[in-house]
Structure 1
């Protein structure tokens, strides 16, 4: 545990053999995520709890949002974020080597929904019982962060799984307004989102993802429409644009280099795609960023 000048509290578990790291943070004025900054990737997924009844501002990938009071927010490893009042938050950050949500999706069923899902960002409201349950999990984390034995890592992973499962359940209740969103359909949507996260840099067509899911593109489009989601093609394009903007915000890569990273066969093709989806030229978009800084 680190506690400097009473200004923040940060507990860190690290397995030097595997590189696994779990960080629990409370009352920390510097809690943030740097995401894709100067070409560097931070490999930590994050779960943030606003325990205060008061809302607060948060910037995620240069877009301003309001995080409601008494709410939970999942954030993925390549996101930049900074909170207005981080001292009012408690958070857990973990890397792939500590717990891989993709490899263990059968245990927690969160990939493509809680993390890497359609809703960006997903603010999950917490009622009184939710806050109590989260408080119990937080206390168990605090107890085990001070236990320095060979079982510590496994106990902390068990608690993290409990936190993720609880968060996923609450998110499902919150999004249950779509009566067509059965568990079976949600699993297909989750699988699509996960496949997209793996392949969006190379594969831009719905037919590729439909084939991996053993569905026709039309069947997939109908499923998304039933659940009041954007079309699969729109979701693919939005994911590409999101990553393109991250490159423009946080790296010095040229438009040609970004297009190559995102699977476009020519700089001109990427430039046309970006303008069609955003209404701005690449150069104009980057100039606007420069003026903001």
Structure 2
């Protein structure tokens, strides 16, 4: 069952997907022109598999998973899930970060995938939001959009609070230091194709590369340079699996001036050359053992 609110004037979209096989994400293949972020709730005690960008993960029972627009995802039993989806025209988490504080943490964060475990009180709160959303989806007046945005903000804020506790972020870092890490994560998502050096991000954040690296070490996170490389490789893998772009085209798309440099970089970080990786992924997708 799907409930949907669309603001024709702004293009704002807010969707609630309840126990539907239609729950999936097309990632970079999506025909949607706007970015759509997703919250998925497993309300059952049973764990199930979710494939995100062709990697299999186990989503625990009674848990929540934030997903971003460029992620391709499929659930083993989507009919057991409930999800909320929204685009930036409905609610921009970047422009309104001061309200919800989720950018670079829940969305575009270091923890991936971020499975947030839900207790009894959390499940009750989500159930309240669900019922209020269903009721407001039936209202067709000028206040409808604002009411639905209020419910979405409540969901985001509650999820951010739970995630901070479960990742020990509150204990390891002050809000100011966590904000620097979140800002880095957002900058990385925006500029990883053209900015491959830590010095670029450090300069934007008005920090030295060493200070930035030390902050990530203090938080127990990988070094910024490692995160930059990981993000580039993730995007390269998406192109290799979901498009017919050549290695040369992908390299240029990701900011490498030399195809040979990109090929060496990919081989160094993955252990496979570009053609080997694409062949292996196609075999896995067809159900064939690559060995």
TM-score range (shorter-chain normalised) is over 0.9
- Write out aligned runs for 1:176-195 (5 A): 176=168, 179-195=171-187
Structure 1 residue aligned with 2:2? 10
SS in structure 2 at match of 1:36: helix
Cα distance in 2 for residues equivalent to 1:136 and 1:169: 17
Cα distance in 2 for residues equivalent to 1:32 and 1:116: 19
Structure 2 residue aligned with 1:49? 41
1:290 to 267, 282, 289: 282
Cα distance in 2 for residues equivalent to 1:177 and 1:106: 18
Structure 2 residue aligned with 1:175? 167
Greater shift, 268-277 or 36-45, is seen at: 36-45
Contact kept? 1:178, 1:227, Cα under 8 Å: no
1:62 to 30, 49, 54: 54
Contact kept? 1:44, 1:95, Cα under 8 Å: yes
- Write out aligned runs for 1:63-142 (5 A): 63-142=55-134
| TM-score using structure 1 length | 0.94
Deviation at 1:43, TM superposition (A): 2.1
Cα distance in 2 for residues equivalent to 1:33 and 1:41: 14
Contact kept? 1:41, 1:78, Cα under 8 Å: no
Structure 2 residue aligned with 1:254? 246
SS in structure 2 at match of 1:179: helix
Cα distance in 1 for residues equivalent to 2:44 and 2:100: 27
Cα distance in 1 for residues equivalent to 2:139 and 2:176: 40
1:23 to 6, 15, 24: 15
Structure 1 residue aligned with 2:142? 150
Contact kept? 1:38, 1:251, Cα under 8 Å: no
Q: CA RMSD in A?
A: 1.4
Contact kept? 2:240, 2:278, Cα under 8 Å: yes
Contact kept? 1:20, 1:95, Cα under 8 Å: yes
- For residues 38 and 132 of structure 1, do their structure 2 counterparts lie closer, same or farther at Cα, with a shift above 3 Å needed? closer
Cα distance in 2 for residues equivalent to 1:38 and 1:65: 22
SS in structure 1 at match of 2:227: helix
After superposition, the C-alpha distances for 1:57-78 in whole angstroms (9 at most, x for unaligned) are: 1000000000000000000000
The alignment of Structure 1 onto Structure 2 pairs a total of residues equal to 285
Cα distance in 2 for residues equivalent to 1:15 and 1:156: 12
Deviation at 1:30, TM superposition (A): 2.2
SS in structure 1 at match of 2:181: helix
Contact kept? 2:64, 2:116, Cα under 8 Å: yes
SS in structure 1 at match of 2:146: helix
- For residues 234 and 265 of structure 1, do their structure 2 counterparts lie closer, same or farther at Cα, with a shift above 3 Å needed? same
Contact kept? 2:164, 2:170, Cα under 8 Å: no
Greater shift, 179-188 or 107-116, is seen at: 179-188
Specify every segment of 5 or more residues in structure 2 that has no aligned partner in the other structure, as ranges: 287-291
Structure 2 residue aligned with 1:241? 233
Specify every segment of 5 or more residues in structure 1 that has no aligned partner in the other structure, as ranges: 1-8
1:214 to 199, 203, 206: 206
